[in-house]
Structure 1
Amino acid sequence: EYEKIAKTLKENDPPIPVAKIDATAATSLASRFDVSGYPTIKILKKGQPVDYDGSRTEDEIVAKVKEVSDPNWTPPPEATMVLTQDNFDDVVNSADIILVEFYAPWCGHCKRLAPEYEKAAQELSKRTPPIPLAKVDATAETDLAKKFDVSGYPTLKIFRKGKPYDYNGPREKYGIVDYMIEQAGPPSKQIQATKQVQEFLKDGDDVIIIGIFSGETDKAYQLYQEAANGLREDYKFHHTFSNEIAKLLKASPGKLVVMQPEKFQSKHEPKMHVLDLKDSTDGSEIKEHVLKHALPLVGHRKPSNDVKRYTKRPLVVVYYTVDFSFDYRVATQYWRGKVLEVAKDFPEYVFAVSDEEDYSSEIKDLGLLESGEDVNVAILDEGGKKYAME
């Protein structure tokens, strides 16, 4: 295909040369042009590289090369906005959502991110409404960098009406695009039927968070949405304006209900934790309420929730065959019930059960692989040490 392209462009008037470079041999050239994947196609116009990220067909590549070769062709303006001390507040405070990169011109990681970031900016600018991307030279705008605790490069932050949130998404075009589209949506999903709540309770596997409000103009609802934005990557938030759901939960509008699925409930803890949302309620109170009640007295620690749910120490883990499916739930709950009787007396510890197959390497490190016991126990402390119960 590439040979066909070379032949076609050679016959152009004037001829356009086509070349190829072994990037594994010419490493300095690959580095100079920020080549990080193969194959990478660049069109050079008067020595300046133009990225090609279209399809790899002869027709499309030839068309693009001819377009760029036109003497009147100029590169499109950058979609990424440049922010300085003079325009930062005006732009960021007025945006419902905007992604800002704090970079240093000399930073290698920043240079590698730059083309991906610009491509994402171009893609997101086509949306309705567009999602803007911007950049700040942190070495020139030192006050801005200091204000937002920028200590490394590149640092990416999402701003919503001027309020900063950490960006924890991918750093390539499509990843940035998908992540920002998701972030631009509401942090909380509306539920309208009691059946949805019943399904959360019956089939859920994680904490259930529901805000109850009188309507979208409810001040408490706005406060809830803002607080949810700060935790949206770690928790699923829901809200309702339904009187039926309010009755089911025995809660009136202006209440935040946090509860566990039925399989994690016990007689040793309340079925739900309710926070009264007043005009004076601060967003930090909502966050604290969610974090405080996110885990049941004895939860299910597994690889998919380990990092987000079980980082607090000291952590007591009970290993056995943990399976909450219908056929094995009784046996699983039998041992979990035994753990509950201990956990209720030690509130300073976090307790969890874990399937021994999920944590076979951890059990091996603890020296419990050959213990011969159906149930093994360990304590993980704040210093990273692990203690096995003998």
Structure 2
Amino acid sequence: MLKTSVFQLQLVCPGCNNNIAVSGITDTDTCQNCGKNVSVSTVINDKMFGIMHKEKYMNGFLSGGIEQIGGAGAYKLVYSSGQPFCEECFTVIDEESAMNAINSGKTFSCPNCSHKMPVRAADAILKEFHPKAVGVLNDSFGKDYAEKNTEKESLLVFKCMTCGAGLELSDDTDRKIKCKYCDNENYLPDSIWMKLHPDKEVQPLFVILDLSEAELKGSIDYFLNVTALNVFSKHFINFIKEYFEKPFVTPAFLSWLKSFLSAKNNEEISFNMDITKIQKYFYDNLRLGLSSHPVELRITAAEFGNGLPIELQKELSGDPDEKVRIALAKNTGLKKEIIKKLQADSSNAVQTEAKKLKTGFFKGLFG
């Protein structure tokens, strides 16, 4: 199942202490200010998620910022989960469409505004970053990178300031370049240097993963069973807030949601993440405009929701879509009054499913 991780990453150049907008998953990038090569791979592979397991974090649906201030390897990360989007017009891009472009090796063109976005299939560097990565959208080291460089280089003309000979320039040229005719060094002025290394905005990188149901569930289990990660509960809350602002439905999200909503706290570990508080936040948002949410979302919440509030149970039991009521009738945590309501539902299919649920003494006896 395809799942997208969205990154906006800045590193601090150890040479000039300016921020560098990372434009791709790569070993090194060039500081736009001083020309120093800065290691990207050591940050994204070893430091970017701090104490967290990088793959477990990326496998889940979370959103948040992580920042390391000062010293070597300082960085600022803004991370989110969701579908890719056009950085120009913000049109949502279907993950299958993105993968079609990646697999074909063709630059992706936004169907709405025709903005071109480079594509990159998984290679050794990307697999080191995440073993289940299958491609990246909007990575500047992707498909159209060479074409952009060729066009950029062809426009630049610079002569040696000592002998007047033409100097060959490329994006790999150092800030100080030696003339091969007179051996004198030339320091490239800002006007030339910035054409070779234009100032980059912090652009989003869309890393697409191909995950199994077990890997999606494993992300939930990881946060429930590691005490030190309680502080990252906020990243679940952030994602839920973002999700209800721009809801989407994908197989990967529904699989993760099923595990998230059915999860229970690990009572053997103290001070770990309280999943029930996060689930309650999800239910509170789900109730707002319940009927307008995707039916797949309502079905998943109805069937797998742990600790569904009675108010939400009542609303789901009256959902106009029969499939939602059938799903709710499979939930073993319903109140007695809701079970009886479903057993008297106008749909025979809902009645049949609801009659499998125990009530009263027998519910306590048999679970």
Aligning the two structures, in what range does the TM-score lie when normalised by the shorter sequence?
under 0.3
After TM superposition, the score normalised by the length of structure 2 is 0.27
Query: Which protein has the larger Cα radius of gyration, Structure 1 or Structure 2?
Result: 1
More strand by share: 1
Q: Which has the higher contact order (CA 8 A, sep 6+)?
A: 2
- More helix per residue: 1 or 2? 2
Name the TM-score, length of structure 1 as normaliser. Answer: 0.26
